[in-house]
Structure 1
Amino acid sequence: MRTTTPVTPRGVQDEENSNLDRADSRFIRRRSLRLLGSLLRPLRTLFILTVALVVAAQAARAAGPALIAHAIDVGLPAAQDGTWVPTVVTGGIYVLAALVSGAATAGYVRLAARVAQAILLDLRQRVFRQTQRLSLEFHESYTSGRIISRQTADLDALKELLDSGITQLAAGFLYMTFVGISLFLMDWQAGLVLLVAVIPVALITRWFQKRSQVLYRISRVASARLIVNFVETMNGIRAVHAFRREDANNVTYSGLTEEYRHNNARTMGLNGIYDPALQLTGNVTVAVAMAIGAFRVLDGQLEVGVLVATLLYTKRFFQPVGQMAMFYNSFQSAAAALEKISGLLEEVPTVRQAERPVALPTASGHLRFEGVRFGYGSDAVVLPNLNLDVPGGQTIALVGQTGAGKSTVAKLVARFYDVTAGRLTLDGVDLREISMKDLRRAVVMVTQEAYLFSGTVRDNIALARPDATDEEIEAAARAVGAHEFILDLPEGYDTDVNKRGGRVSSGQRQLISFARAFLADPAVLILDEATSSLDIPGERLVQRGLQTLLADRTALIIAHRLSTVAVADRVLVMSEGEVVEDGSPEELIGGTGRFAALHKAWQDSLV
C-alpha cells in the first residue's frame, strides 16, 4: 500500500520564528548562499569584470597619498635643485591614477546595475513560478499576504542593496585593505598604530552586527505581518463594512504599525551608537599617529612627506567604515529578505509529478477509490477508508452535512491533494502515476466561486484551451446557454469582465465557467457547490447549461441544493468520510434514509 507523508512547509516555520537557534541559522545561511550562487552563475563573466573594475578603482584611489609623499620628499628637493622632472612625473601619475579611478568607478557602477537588475528579474520570475507550482496545501497554510510580501517588500529590500549598497560595501572593504597595505609598506610603525585601532573597530562592529541581525530579522517579520493584515482586510472589505469592523481593524493595524515602528526605532538606536563610536575611534587614531609621527620627524626618523601620507592613510582608512555602516543596514535587511525568499523557493510541492509518468491521452472517466484514507496534515482523518467505484459517463451527486468529506473527495479526484493511504485510480491508473498534463486535461473542477480573470469573456472561456478558435469558443457558449447574454454585453465576447468578473452577474459568471469547462472537454467534471450562491432564476438558467455540460462524461456534483441533485444518475450520501447511502435519486427519495429526510425538508422549505 502506497502512502505519502504530509510535509510541513519550512518557509512558514521560518516566517513565524524570528529567534532561530544556531543550527537553524547555519542551515538558512547556507540555503541563502546557494540561492545567491545560482543567481550569479549565469552572470559570472559580467560579475568578474565588475569585481576587476572595483579592484582597479580602489587601488588607483589608494595610490594618492603615496604619490603625495613622493612629491614632497623627492619632487620638492629636486625642484629646489632645478630639476622638475620628478615633480612633473609624480603629478602626471597622480592625474592618471585619478582618471583610472574615475573611469573604473563609472564602469563598475554601470556593470553592477546590469548585474543587479538581471538578478532581480530572475528572482522575481522564480518566486512567481514557484508560487504557481506549489500545491494547494501550501497555499492554504501560507497566506496570500506573505506571498505578496515576498514579491514586494523582500524584493524591494534586495533591490535597495543591489542597486548601490553591494558595490559600496565591496569598494569600501577593498579601499580599506589597500590603504592598510600601503600604510604598512610606507611606515610599519604607523601601520601598527592603525592595527591597534582596528581591534576596537572590530569589536564595535561585531557588537553592532549581532544585534542588528536579530533586529532586522524581527523587522522583516513585522513588515510581513503588516502586509498580511492589509491584504486580508482589503480582500474581506465587504465583511468589514457589513459587520462594522473598521474601528477594530484600525486598532489591530495600529498595533502592527507601532510594532514595526518600534523595531525600526531600535535599529536606528543601534546606528546612533555605532556611527559615533567609529568616528571617535578614527579621530583618536589620527591624533595618536600624528603625535608619534611628529616626534619621529623631529628626531629625523621620518620624512615629512611620509608623515603627511600616513596621516592621510589613517584618516582615509576610517572614511569607508561609516559609509559601510550605512549600507550594512541595507545588507542586514536584504539578508533577512533573502532568507525568506530562499525558504519559499526551496518548498517542495506535496503533489508531484511521478518520476516515470504514465501517459493517458484519452480517458473514459472510470474512477475507483480503493481503501482511500486521507487527512489534512496533522488534523483528524477526514476519509478513514473509502471504497467507491464510479463507472465512466456516470453522474454522481455527493450530499451530506458540512464536514462529511464531500469536497475532500473532489480535491482528491482533481489531485489537489494526494491520498494518505490506498489508491485512487482513473481508468485503472493511479492518479499519482498519471502525467500532470494528461490529468489536468482529463479532470476539470468548476467551483462555487466561478473565478474570472481580468480580460475579455473570450479569454476567460478559452482559459483551458488558448488555441481554441472563435467558432469553438462560441459553440461552447451556445452549448451551455451563455451565448445570448454574452451578445447582449457592450462588446459581446470582447467585453472586459473587470476584476474577478465584476461586470457580470453570479449566474452569468457561472455560465461562463461552464462554457470554459465544456470547451476543455474533460473526461471527469467536478462541480463543487457550483449553484449554491445563485438565486432561483439564476439557478434555472444554470440548470439548462448543466444538462449539456454533463452529457457523455463522468461527473461529480457536490451540492446542498437538492434541485441540482435531480440531474444525477446516482446519489451518495456521506457522513464522517463514509458513504452511508448509495442509489438513484428516485430510490433514495422513496426510502426512509437520510436522503429521503433531506429531500422532505427541502420540499417543506419551498412551500
Structure 2
Amino acid sequence: MTTVTGVQGEERHDYSKAESRALRARSLRLLGSLLTPVRRLLWTTLAIIVISTAAQVAGPALIAYGIDQGLPALLDQNWFPVAFAGLAYLVTGLAGAFLVAGYIRLAARISQAVLIDLRTRVFLHTQKLSLEFHESYTSGRIISRQTSDLDSIRELLDEGINQLVRGVLYMVFTAAALVWLDWVSGLVLVATLVPLALLTRWFQVRSQQLFRRSRVASAKLIVHFVETMTGIRAVQAFRKERRNEREFGDLVEDYRDVNARVLGLFAVYNPALALIGNTAVAVVLLIGGFRVVDGGLEVGVLLAAVLYTKRFFDPMEELAMFYNSYQSAASALEKISGVLEEEPSVPDPKRPVDLWTADGNVRFEGVEFSYTADRPILPHFDLDLPAGQTVALVGSTGAGKSTLAKLIARFYDPTGGRVTLDGVDLRDLHPKDLRRAIVMVTQEAYLFSGSVADNIALGRPDAPMDEIVRAAKAVGAHEFIEGLPNGYDTDVNKRGGRVSAGQRQLISFARAFLANPAVLILDEATSSLDIPSERAVQEGLQSLLAGRTAVIIAHRLSTVAIADRVLVMEHGRVVEDGSPASLIAGTGRFASLHAAWRDSLV
C-alpha cells in the first residue's frame, strides 16, 4: 500500500527531497495517462497557440517597418510600405484573435475530457478499495479529493495552462524578435534574465511548501465540516456546537494564515518583477536613444525594441498567477494520485475459481489475523461451520466476533491460514460468486436515496415486485411499508430519514433475504429493533434461515435463541461451543450471561 501521501501521509506537508521527487514522478505519471487519450487535440491546440502567438508578436516589427520604411517612402508618394504595414498589422491581429478563440474551445474540450476521466477514476477506484482503506481514510478527505482538489485541477486546465503556454511562447518569440531586430537591445534583455531567474526561484521555493499547506488546510476544513454535518445528531445531542465553533474557527484561521503568507509572497514578487521590467525598458531606451542620435539605430527599430522589452515582462505576472494555480493543482494531483495508487488490501484473484451454487460450508483453517502487527485478534483459529447451520457468536466487546464475520465476508484477508467456502479459499473465489454467496447485514442499516423497493432490491435490481413484497413480508416489514405515503414507492429520503431506525433495519433484512445468499451474517443486526419488531423478525428468521448457513453476532441473548449452535469467544478463541440449551444448563460463561440477561428482564 502506498505510504508516501496515502492514508498515512495525507496530513504531511514537509517532505524530503527523495519523497518530493517520488510525488512529482507519481503525479506526472497520472497526468500523462490523463493526457494520452487527448494527445491529438493537444498537438492541434499547440499548433494554434504557436501560430496565434507569432501573429501577436509580429506587431512591433511591423510598426518598425512602417516607420522606418513607410514614412520615407511617403515623401516619394509611395504608399505601399505604409499600406502594407497597416494591412499586415490588421491581418495578424485578426488572425491572432480568431486563433485564440479556437484555442479556447479546444482547451475547454481537453479540460473537460481530463476532468471527467479523473473524476470517474477517483470514484471507481475508491469504490474498489478494501474496507481497511475506508475505515482509516475519512469520508471528508475522500470528498475533498472529489471537490476542492478537482476544482484546483480544473482551474489549472481552464486558465493556468493557457497562461503558461501562451506566456512562455510569447516571451520566447518576443526575445527572438528583439534579438533579430537589434542584438544590443537583446543583450540588455538577456542581462535582466539573471535577477529575474533569482527572483522566480525565490518565489518558487517559498511558495511550494505554502501551497501544499494550503491544500492540507483546505482538506481539514472540508473534513471537519462533513463530519459535523454527518454526525449532526450527536453534535446536538451532546451540545458540541460551541466546541465545533472553536475547532472550526481554528481551522479557518490556519487556512487564512497560510493564504495570507501566499499573498505576502506575491506582494514581494510582483513589485520586484515590475522593477526589473521597468529597469530593462529604461536601459534599452537610454542606450537606444544615444544610438539613434549617433545614427546607429533607426527610430522605428528603437520603438519596436522598447515595445518588445516591455511586452517581454507582461506575461510574467500571468505566469506568477499560473504558478499559484500550478502549486495548488500539483498538490491536489499529489493527493489524488496517492489515492489512485492505493492498492486493495483484499485484491481480486488473478485466476478466480467459479462457484455457481454454494452449499454454505465455512471453514477456518489455522487462521491468524491482526489489524496491527503488535495486537493479534485471532492468534490461531480453527472452526468448521457446516452448511445450513445457524451459529450465534457471543462474547465481550473485542473478543473477535465482528472480525470473524468480516473475514467470512472477505472484507479482510487473514494474515495466516485460510478461510474457505465449500472447500474453496475465499481469496481464490470469483468476486461475483463471493458476493452472491455471502451477505452481511450490519448494525448501520444504511439506506440509499430512492424508493423502499429499490433499497430492498439492492442486491437483485432485476427482482420482480412480488419477490420484493414476499421478502418484506418474511421479515415483518410489509405492514409498515404499506403504511408509508406511497407504499413500496415511497422515497426513503436522505439516509432513510423518513423511516425509524428499526424500520431501516427491517428493510436491510428484506434486502439480504431477497439476495438469497448461501451464508448470511447478522452483525448486531437486531440492535435497532424494539421488542415487538425483534420478535417478528425472529419468527421470519426461523423460516428464512432454514437451509442456509447463518452467523449471528448479538449481545441480545433473545436473538441467540434461534441458533442451532452457540460459540462463546474470548480473546480471539472459542471458549465454549454447544447448543443454546446445553450451554444454559451448564456452568460456563454463556450460562452466566444468560442468567444475568434473564434477571434483567424481571
Which interval holds the TM-score relative to the shorter structure?
A: over 0.9
Alpha-carbon deviations, 1:169-215, whole Å to 9, x = none?
Answer: 21111100100001111111100000001111111011001111110
> How far did residue 7 of structure 1 move?
7.3
The residue correspondences of 1:456-471 to structure 2 (distance < 5 A) are 456-471=451-466
Q: Are the structure 2 counterparts of residues 476 and 533 from structure 1 closer, same or farther at C-alpha, using a change threshold of 3 Å? A: closer
1:586 matches 2:581: yes
72, 88, 93: which is aligned to 1:77? Answer: 72
C-alpha contact (below 8 Å) 1:514/1:549 kept by paired residues: no
Distance in structure 1 (CA, Å) of the matches to 2:125 and 2:238: 36
Distance in structure 1 (CA, Å) of the matches to 2:4 and 2:230: 24
- 1:17 match: 12
Structure 1 residue ranges, 4+ long, deviating more than 6 angstroms after superposition: none
1:557 matches 2:552: yes
- 2:344 match: 349
Counterpart residue identity of residue 341, structure 1 = I
Deviates more, 1:54-63 or 1:541-550: 541-550
Distance in structure 1 (CA, Å) of the matches to 2:97 and 2:502: 67
The residue correspondences of 1:66-465 to structure 2 (distance < 5 A) are 66-465=61-460
Distance in structure 1 (CA, Å) of the matches to 2:405 and 2:71: 91
Distance in structure 2 (CA, Å) of the matches to 1:128 and 1:282: 47
Q: Are the structure 2 counterparts of residues 9 and 531 from structure 1 closer, same or farther at C-alpha, using a change threshold of 3 Å? A: farther
Counterpart residue identity of residue 366, structure 1 = N
Counterpart residue identity of residue 506, structure 1 = A
1:59 matches 2:22: no
Equivalent position SS for 2:372 = coil
1:517 matches 2:512: yes
> How far did residue 478 of structure 1 move?
2.1
> How far did residue 469 of structure 1 move?
1.3
Equivalent position SS for 1:433 = coil
- 2:482 match: 487
Counterpart residue identity of residue 266, structure 1 = R
Equivalent position SS for 1:388 = strand
C-alpha contact (below 8 Å) 2:505/2:528 kept by paired residues: no
Q: Are the structure 2 counterparts of residues 7 and 46 from structure 1 closer, same or farther at C-alpha, using a change threshold of 3 Å? A: closer
530, 542, 560: which is aligned to 1:535? Answer: 530
Distance in structure 1 (CA, Å) of the matches to 2:369 and 2:222: 33
33, 36, 44: which is aligned to 1:41? Answer: 36
Distance in structure 2 (CA, Å) of the matches to 1:507 and 1:214: 50
Counterpart residue identity of residue 548, structure 1 = S
Distance in structure 1 (CA, Å) of the matches to 2:417 and 2:220: 39
C-alpha contact (below 8 Å) 1:497/1:503 kept by paired residues: yes
Alpha-carbon deviations, 1:311-351, whole Å to 9, x = none?
Answer: 00000000111122122211111111111111111111010
The residue correspondences of 1:501-512 to structure 2 (distance < 5 A) are 501-512=496-507
> How far did residue 535 of structure 1 move?
2.2
Alpha-carbon deviations, 1:48-77, whole Å to 9, x = none?
Answer: 111111111111000001111111111111
> How far did residue 386 of structure 1 move?
0.6
Distance in structure 2 (CA, Å) of the matches to 1:589 and 1:214: 64
> How far did residue 234 of structure 1 move?
1.6
Deviates more, 1:223-232 or 1:410-419: 223-232
- 2:468 match: 473
Counterpart residue identity of residue 467, structure 1 = D
Equivalent position SS for 2:427 = helix
Counterpart residue identity of residue 472, structure 2 = A
C-alpha contact (below 8 Å) 1:507/1:541 kept by paired residues: no
> How far did residue 248 of structure 1 move?
1.3
Distance in structure 2 (CA, Å) of the matches to 1:260 and 1:549: 55
The sequence identity of aligned pairs, in percent, is 67
Alpha-carbon deviations, 1:534-563, whole Å to 9, x = none?
Answer: 222232232222223312100000000000
Counterpart residue identity of residue 299, structure 1 = D
What are the ranges of 5 or more consecutive residues in structure 1 without an aligned counterpart?
A: 1-5
Distance in structure 2 (CA, Å) of the matches to 1:32 and 1:220: 15
> How far did residue 379 of structure 1 move?
4.6
Alpha-carbon deviations, 1:346-370, whole Å to 9, x = none?
Answer: 1110101111010111100000001
State TM-score, norm by structure 2: 0.98
C-alpha contact (below 8 Å) 2:196/2:276 kept by paired residues: yes
Distance in structure 2 (CA, Å) of the matches to 1:361 and 1:399: 32
> How far did residue 9 of structure 1 move?
8.0
Distance in structure 1 (CA, Å) of the matches to 2:542 and 2:190: 86
Distance in structure 2 (CA, Å) of the matches to 1:377 and 1:53: 56
- 1:3 match: none
Deviates more, 1:202-211 or 1:373-382: 373-382
State TM-score, norm by structure 1: 0.98
Counterpart residue identity of residue 339, structure 2 = L
Distance in structure 2 (CA, Å) of the matches to 1:548 and 1:167: 67
Equivalent position SS for 1:219 = helix
Alpha-carbon deviations, 1:73-112, whole Å to 9, x = none?
Answer: 1111111111111221222211111111111111101110
C-alpha contact (below 8 Å) 1:510/1:542 kept by paired residues: no
Distance in structure 2 (CA, Å) of the matches to 1:504 and 1:104: 58
> How far did residue 502 of structure 1 move?
1.6
Q: Are the structure 2 counterparts of residues 533 and 157 from structure 1 closer, same or farther at C-alpha, using a change threshold of 3 Å? A: same
563, 570, 574: which is aligned to 2:569? Answer: 574
Distance in structure 1 (CA, Å) of the matches to 2:71 and 2:8: 68
